[in-house]
Structure 1
Amino acid sequence: MINADHTLAPADPWHPRAVRASVPAPRRWRARVPILSVAGFRLFVWPSRCRGAGGSQGLREVQMARRRTARRVGRRSGGDGVMWALVVLVVAVPLMNAMVGFVRASAGWLLVSTLVAAVVAVGVALLLARRARRRRDHFLQANARLETIDQMNGEQFEHLVAALLRRDGFRKVRVTGRAGDGGVDVVGVAPDGRVFAVQCKRWSSNVGSPHVRNLLGALAHAYSGHTGLLVTSSGYTSAALREGQGAGLAMLDRRDLAEWALGIPLPDLLSPPASERMSA
């Protein structure tokens, strides 16, 4: 028997070569290729069914068709962008003209509204400042006696000193309330522009020279350029007075604190007596 390829087939039908010759070649499946997608629907083609003699030629034609479709979609997208830009321009120009016309027509009304809002804001600010001042004065009146001050803890005494500074016209007064700052508890700017660094000691015993040196060290480093003030509810040792006065440190003892709490301004307490000014 002669095979299709002009070879001699074996006489035995169960011969392996005869079995292989009788089995049909497996069908080669070719993947379908999408070439167009419209409104969620896709158009697929099979390369083996495209025009041309072979599947590779058909695949190339499919690819070219997809490129042409992509170019058309791109041109359509660009046209849509220009169209939307024109729509926005057509809508925005009349709106802008309407807004400009409204502002011109109601310029007086807007000016009056702005002035009224400014007056209201200033009034509220003054009211809040007055309320804060009243609250501060009440606090100072309630703690103007040394017997009341002696019942305070350290934090309460620091806030009392800060309130006294605000009463005397100091600005930007704040209680630091932090450790490792050389013992400075309150800072503030005096009416004459000097920046004060205050150390508060609500003690029953006298303050010694180590604490004076501690404040002087802070003024030389962390608080350089500040004017030092040491306030205590007790007194100072003789060594502390010599060291502090020798360094030009302002120091208020128990008697000075009582006068300050009763209403004598701090600048009057820090100024030297008239006898010392005359002798100088």
Structure 2
Amino acid sequence: MRMTARSPQRQGNRRKIHIGPWVITVAVVVALTAARWIAAHPALGITLTALVAAAAITVAMRARPALRARKGGALTTVDPHRLKPDQFEHFIADLCRRDKCRNVRVVGGAGDLAADVLYTDPHGRRGLIQAKRYQRGNSVGSEHVQMVNGTYRDAHHCQHAAIVTTSHFTRAAAEFGHQVGIRLVDDHRLTDWINGQRSAAPWN
């Protein structure tokens, strides 16, 4: 029977992990001790396990509330007013993906030139969204509309742009947005968009 030697290259690619016998001994002792304690205190063991599981779930949910938005139909369960500004940007991006937008990117940050989300809408047009996660009493002013109007075409090469907020717009902002064609999505229209009304989407 002919034996084929392994190539040195393949042997060199394998990383060997050595676990000392004392590590295995300690792990076995800890496992046995935990098992005996749980067997002696079954009620406490079940309670402790439930508490650990509940704590893990709570931490996971608080880490990123918008994570639920990636589950498709769960978008309507997210309250955008409870999101942090960066989470709100990702939430808006999730809404765009849900409604069949392509090439969706979150680009907000320092030097973003008034863009938070870039995307290609279902009609094949490139769009820009500036996300304003404001408290309801804090209005979005016309200066933000002016910034978007000044950058979405030349800086970002988009065909249309919108500002989406959890609040509302000042009268001056609404008038200027209508004049230059910037779509303004206030709290009410955002709620409609979240609930699946396609006509409320920023590109419609």
Question: Could you say which TM-score interval applies, normalised by the shorter chain?
Answer: 0.5 to 0.7
Q: Is the 8 A contact 2:115 2:148 kept in 1?
A: yes
1:66-101 superposed Cα distances (whole Å, 9 cap, x missing partner): xxxxxxxxxxxxxxxxxxxxxxxxxxxxxxxxxxxx
Does the CA-based 8 Å contact 2:96-2:104 persist in structure 1?
yes
- What runs of 5+ residues in structure 2 fail to find an aligned partner? 1-66
- Aligned-residue sequence identity (percent) comes to 35
Match 2:107 to one of 143, 159, 176: 176
What is the aligned counterpart of 1:140 among 60, 63, 75? 75
The Cα of 1:133 is off from its aligned counterpart by 10
Q: Matched residues in 2 for 1:184 and 1:196: separation? A: 10
Inter-partner Cα distance in structure 2 for 1:268 and 1:210: 23
Select 2:143's aligned residue among 210, 220, 224.
Answer: 210
What is the TM-score of this pair, normalised by structure 1?
A: 0.45
Report the 3-state secondary structure (helix = DSSP H, G, I; strand = E; otherwise coil) of the residue aligned with 2:123: coil
Give the direction of change, closer, same or farther, for the CA distance of 1:183–1:136 in structure 2 (3 Å limit): farther
Match of 2:165 in 1: 232
Residue aligning to 1:149: 80
Q: Any residues of structure 2 matched to 1:48-67 within 5 Å, and which?
A: none
**2:116 — aligned with what?**
185
Specify which of 189, 194, 204 is matched with residue 256 of structure 1.
189
Greater C-alpha Rg: 1
- Alpha-carbon distance change, 162 to 189 in structure 1, aligned in 2, over 3 angstroms: same
Q: For 1:74-93, what aligned pairs fall within 5 Å after superposition?
A: none
Which structure carries more relative contact order (alpha carbon 8 Å, separation 6+)? 2
Q: Per the alignment, do residues 182 and 134 of structure 1 end up closer, same or farther by CA in structure 2, a change over 3 Å counting?
A: closer
Q: Kindly provide the amino acid, as one letter, of the partner of residue 186 in structure 1.
A: V
For residues 225 and 158 of structure 1, do their structure 2 counterparts lie closer, same or farther at Cα, with a shift above 3 Å needed?
closer
Tell me, what secondary structure is at the counterpart of 1:182? coil
Structure 1: distance between partners of 2:156 and 2:202: 23
Of the three residues 135, 152, 166, the one matched with 1:219 is: 152
Deviation at 1:181, TM superposition (A): 2.4
Cα distance per residue 1:98-137 (max 9 Å; x no partner): xxxxxxxxxxxxxxxxxxxxxxxxxxxxxxxxxx999432
Q: How far apart, in 2, do the equivalents of 1:196 and 1:229 lie?
A: 8
Runs of 5+ unmatched residues, structure 1? 1-131, 272-280
Taking a change above 3 Å as real, the CA distance of residues 135 and 244 of structure 1, as seen in their structure-2 partners, is closer
Shift in CA distance, 266/211, structure 1 to aligned 2, threshold 3 Å: same
Name the CA distance, whole Å, in 1 between partners of 2:149 and 2:70: 34
Q: CA deviation at 1:263?
A: 1.3
In 2, Cα distance between equivalents of 1:247 and 1:134: 32
The CA deviation at 1:230 is 0.9
Mapped pair 1:201 → 2:136 = no
Cα distance in 1, alignment partners of residues 73 and 198 from structure 2: 17
Aligned equivalents of 2:199, 2:96: Cα separation in 1: 8
Aligned-residue RMSD, C-alpha: 2.3
Corresponding residue SS for 1:207: coil
Alignment CA distance shift 1:256-1:267 (3 Å): closer
Check conservation: 1:181, 1:222, Cα contact below 8 A.
Answer: no
1:166 to 97, 106, 112: 97
Give the Cα separation in 1 of the matches to 2:199 and 2:179: 21
Q: Deviation at 1:138?
A: 5.2
Instruction: Please report how far the alpha carbon of residue 232 of structure 1 lies from its aligned counterpart in structure 2 after TM superposition.
Output: 0.6
